[in-house]
Chains A and B, each alone.
Chain A
Amino acid sequence: GEDVEQSLFLSVREGDSSVINCTYTDSSSTYLYWYKQEPGAGLQLLTYIFSNMDMKQDQRLTVLLNKKDKHLSLRIADTQTGDSAIYFCAESLSGNTGKLIFGQGTTLQVKP
Chain B
Amino acid sequence: GAVVSQHPSRVICKSGTSVKIECRSLDFQATTMFWYRQFPKKSLMLMATSNEGSKATYEQGVEKDKFLINHASLTLSTLTVTSAHPEDSSFYICSRSTGNYGYTFGSGTRLTVV
Are the C-beta atoms of B103 and A99 separated by less than 8 Å?
A: no
With A31-B101, A42-B105 already in contact, the answer to whether A102 and B93 are too (CB < 8 A) is: no
Query: Which one, A42, A48, A50, A97, contacts B107 given CB within 8 A?
Result: A42
- Total contacts A to B, CB within 8 angstroms? 57
Q: Chain A contact residues (Cβ within 8 angstroms of B): what range? A: 20 to 34
Q: Give the chain B neighbours of A33 by CB distance below 8 A.
A: 102-103
Closest to B110 in A: A40
Whether B43 sits at the interface, judged by CB under 8 Å, is yes
Contact B93 A42 (CB under 8 A): yes
Type the 1/0 row for A23-46, where 1 means its CB is closer than 8 Å to any CB of B: 000000001010100001111110
Chain A: interface secondary structure?
A: strand
Partner of A88, one of B34, B44, B108, B110: B44
Contacts of A45 in B (CB 8 A): 102-105
Minimum Cβ distance to chain B for residue A109 (Å): 14
Binding site for A on B (CB under 8 A): 4, 6, 32, 34, 41-46, 49, 93, 95, 97, 101-108, 110
